[in-house]
Structure 1
């Protein structure tokens, strides 16, 4: 299913934790792991040593990728590495395209600050422009990530991006034998309790069932029999409630070239990723497909 997995790293602790997941994934699919470090040329990184100009960031990057490759070798995973100069997010996206990678694995945050999660980070910018599946890992000390997954949850609203995420979840469920759950969250928090709101709620429920039926048919065509759920309330809270249990991987769709806040599912993807206790697989619908 995956033959080339890209793991961008800055050598931070969150990146090292994401490497463990990337290695599990690459080992399971017998994939080659591409380890990439980007020396950010937007920063002053040049110094003079013994009359020679040495790019300190690039030198550090070599140490970072060598450490990751050593860990891959210990796991029996084929790995290649590269240290490039440029804008980190743009370089990651360009590398993924040039080497035709199947999947990118990144932490939700890195050296930009542990308190700064996804928003404002390199990962956010990659999410907003990458064309291949991207798994973001929110490092945590109190939970061990499991791969291959046994339970996968795909959240949908019937949009094109959500369909892409569903397709990735279906393919993964088929390949690993995992149980696939598909959820549609009906936002009822803005409805009152009069007759009109009751009628609106019935229409929303009917629409949700229709979307889930189409999603189930989509999965069944690929040989996967999903479990469907209709939930009510705040979308991100309901999704996280379902995740907080046996689910090992969450799949979401996003769109927007640079503005990650313009995500599907009513803009809840950002909130979900910030606190998701499991890796989140993201699929972006390009502007040309909208």
Structure 2
């Protein structure tokens, strides 16, 4: 399923658990692991003085990549290393596309404070712009979630029936089939913007029926795609991403597969917003995939 995997790294603290996860994926699939270091030449301190500063950045990059490659060699994983100059997210997205890779694996830089988790800007931009699926892992969560290693046992795909969600379902099916994992299909009916009268109750019933049909259709597709164990669920909630996180906790989910855009016409289920919240807060890896757009 994955022949080429990209792990961009700057050698910062917290990247090692994510690198180990990337090595698990590459080793299981017999994939080549591409290790990329980007010397950020967009900062004023660098652009004003090229020469020595850029050379120093690249020297750091060589050390970082040598260390990562050595870890890969000890695991029997084939690697390709490259150093580039430029804006990190652009170079990462460009490299993944140009080399026709199957997966990008990156850590988020979570920093908690007043209940918020701030996502590193580079990772956030890669998730939004990459045509290659991106697996994001919170370093702080990954360090404590030792049971959620690869291969995955339980794969969760939240779906609203949109084209974007269908893209995520397809990827989740492939991942579940190759890992022989249980596929969980979840549709959350968002009732946050609805009032409480008889007509609203009827609306909710209609939404729930459509959600049941959505997960049932996806389950049929999954079984036809070779997934042996499929679980479906429909929930109502005033917070979609919290409902998903609750499901993750209650069902021992190892990875969440989501689309980066998607919206239904009735309850304005904006999957893009939900995805960003999941990437920032999920205690397990989140695999994002962009909707295929036909030119």
TM-score of the alignment, normalized to the shorter chain, above 0.5: yes
CA separation of 1:136/1:266 partners in 2, compared to 1, >3 Å: closer, same or farther? closer
Deviation at 1:263, TM superposition (A): 9.0
**C-alpha RMSD over aligned residues:** 2.5
Moved more, 213-222 or 28-37: 213-222
Q: Using the alignment, how far apart are the partners of 2:26 and 2:106 within structure 1?
A: 14
Structure 2 matches for 1:136-175, cutoff 5 A?
136-140=136-140, 141-144=143-146, 145-175=148-178
The match for 1:222 among 206, 222, 225 is: 225
Assess if the C-alpha contact under 8 Å between 2:104 and 2:132 holds in 1: yes
Q: Using the alignment, how far apart are the partners of 2:269 and 2:134 within structure 1?
A: 15
Structure 2: 5+ residue runs without aligned partners? 263-267
CA separation of 1:46/1:205 partners in 2, compared to 1, >3 Å: closer, same or farther? closer
Q: SS of the residue aligned with 2:144?
A: coil
Runs of 4+ displaced beyond 3 Å: 45-48, 51-54, 113-120
Indicate the residue corresponding to 1:198 in structure 2: 201
Indicate the residue corresponding to 1:253 in structure 2: 259
What is the TM-score of this pair, normalised by structure 1? 0.89
Q: Using the alignment, how far apart are the partners of 1:159 and 1:35 within structure 2?
A: 34
Indicate the residue corresponding to 1:57 in structure 2: 57
Q: Using the alignment, how far apart are the partners of 1:77 and 1:107 within structure 2?
A: 20
Q: Using the alignment, how far apart are the partners of 2:150 and 2:185 within structure 1?
A: 19
CA separation of 1:47/1:193 partners in 2, compared to 1, >3 Å: closer, same or farther? closer
Indicate the residue corresponding to 2:236 in structure 1: 232
Indicate the residue corresponding to 2:265 in structure 1: none
Deviation at 1:192, TM superposition (A): 3.0
How many residue pairs were aligned? 280
Indicate the residue corresponding to 1:130 in structure 2: 130
| Greater share of residues in helix | 2
Assess if the C-alpha contact under 8 Å between 1:161 and 1:264 holds in 2: no
> Residues 189-215 of structure 1, C-alpha deviation per residue, up to 9 Å, x if partnerless?
333331111111111111111211221
Deviation at 1:70, TM superposition (A): 0.7
Assess if the C-alpha contact under 8 Å between 2:37 and 2:83 holds in 1: yes
The match for 1:208 among 211, 222, 238 is: 211
CA separation of 1:283/1:171 partners in 2, compared to 1, >3 Å: closer, same or farther? same
What is the TM-score of this pair, normalised by structure 2? 0.87
Assess if the C-alpha contact under 8 Å between 1:36 and 1:65 holds in 2: yes
Q: Using the alignment, how far apart are the partners of 1:254 and 1:151 within structure 2?
A: 21
Assess if the C-alpha contact under 8 Å between 2:33 and 2:77 holds in 1: yes
CA separation of 1:128/1:266 partners in 2, compared to 1, >3 Å: closer, same or farther? closer
Indicate the residue corresponding to 1:273 in structure 2: 279
Moved more, 179-188 or 263-272: 263-272
CA separation of 1:271/1:47 partners in 2, compared to 1, >3 Å: closer, same or farther? closer
Structure 2 matches for 1:14-163, cutoff 5 A?
14-43=14-43, 44-45=45-46, 55-109=55-109, 117=117, 119=119, 121-140=121-140, 141-144=143-146, 145-163=148-166
Q: Using the alignment, how far apart are the partners of 2:181 and 2:53 within structure 1?
A: 52
Assess if the C-alpha contact under 8 Å between 1:162 and 1:283 holds in 2: no
CA separation of 1:98/1:263 partners in 2, compared to 1, >3 Å: closer, same or farther? farther
Q: Using the alignment, how far apart are the partners of 1:27 and 1:39 within structure 2?
A: 28
